Structure 1
Amino acid sequence: MTEPFVQHGNQLLIDRWMKHLPDLSAGFTTRLGGVSTGHYESNNLGLHTDDDPERIIANRYSTASETNTDLKQWVFADQTHEDQIVKVPRALAGSGSLDYDDTIKRTDGFYTDEPGVMLSLGFADCVPLYFIHEGKKLAGTAHAGWKGTVRNIGGKMVRLWSEFEGVPAGEIYAAIGPSIGSCCYQVDQKVIDELQKVLADFEPYSKNEDGTYQLQLKEANRLLLIQEGIPPENIHVSSCCTSCSEELFFSHRRDKGLTGRMHSFIGFTR
């Protein structure tokens, strides 16, 4: 299967979606093309990090410009590794774009049915999830670390769209973006026990001799989305590991917490 996230400039775009829907902007930022230095070199977009806020805001302006959007359209969250999802109206566009105190609080998922809103969440190994429905021009994104995964935040997005937007799961398209791969993601029994509560019939992990596990977090989320009724052929998965590709990505685990943030982005421009 071809890689769904294709590099254009300093960003990875969901190419097949954007070619089919010219008014959609969807992708994932890289660490390239910014002005931050040191641990945050160079395109750090995370205002909650210890990087210079002026540099972060400059990075955000250049990222918005590269996507042919206005930073005033972007919406950011105060992420807490939980499963709250917020439907974002155009009136909230710009929330958190210049000031972390102005972010939408305690939120790890966004969706909107209004054009001119760019939804964005921060990542440094966790799994970025993307959702679209072409007919209703719904766009969504979610942040799924292991805690969001065992809470099935992706499945919750599907259920919300079904219940409140009248969209059958079979009509939803999803993409799973760059994140840490099983090659670099070792977890303990506690994580596996929690995962088995929502994925009882699957084992997207392998056990090590010391009793730890190598977890395929992207695959776990793919299986959860299929369980919710999204057809497998509607789900596109990136092969990129954020920990392996130091030249392209920040990685919280690889960099021992001293690192920047990439961001997912998705929205219809009109």
Structure 2
Amino acid sequence: MDRARSNQDVKAGREAGLWDSIKETLKVGIQALLIAVVVRTLLFQPFNIPSGSLVPTLLIGDYLFVSKYSYGYSKYSLPLSEYLPFQAHGRIWGAEPKRGDIAVFKLPKDNSTDYIKRVIGLPGDRIQMINGLLNINGRPVKREQIADYSTTDAFGQPTQVAQYTETLPNGVSHTIIERDGDRGLWDNTSVYTVPANHFFMMGDNRDNSTDSRDLGSVGYVPFENFVGRAEVIFFSVDEGAAAWQVWNWPWTVRWSRLFKPIH
């Protein structure tokens, strides 16, 4: 009888120990999940680049972190914002984007599609393209030609295109390309006057970017629609490669782009 009771006590002790272990594992898992949710909601959110509108700054296959706190928080900077039941407007702890920032925003047309472009025009600015040259408030932006950029044309064939260093009025410099020279579809425009509390966004791949120049597709972006500022490339694979195919990483990962700051 004593031996049977002893065996039952051992078994009960093992079951209690196993249950304690399960509870501790669940506790750690829930804590880790909550931390991940907080980080993604309030601090950093990962995005990947599916199009070439910001070539040569960002390439198809780049994975980057966007800081959510840079511009404060709005309904549209929250995950799955399009499904939220409330219709809150404005931002809390808002800090306006600076000219030259690369920012993720919700497309004004549907308030759900994520777009990423460079901030070119601030509220009240007058923006115009004249023969491929960006003009801000009636003054041409400084543009210096550098070595041609290797890319593909509209038919996917390798080609060399004109590449420039563009310096915005606040001193921010970045690289742009003109795939179609200075006679592309959006290289000559009328004057755009940016409304209050809105921003004018453009891609660095000037002839292959649907951006604020196309008022019907993108247009002026409300401050409320900003999600965050692009900060750093944390991973990058060749165009057409799958990031999950770990066995191909030695050949498909763009090692030189890992942890590259975004300017």
Is the shorter-chain TM-score for this pair beyond 0.5, marking a shared fold?
Answer: no
Structure number with greater Rg is 2
| Greater per-residue strand proportion | 2
| Greater per-residue helix proportion | 1
TM-score by length of 1: 0.24
TM-score by length of 2: 0.24
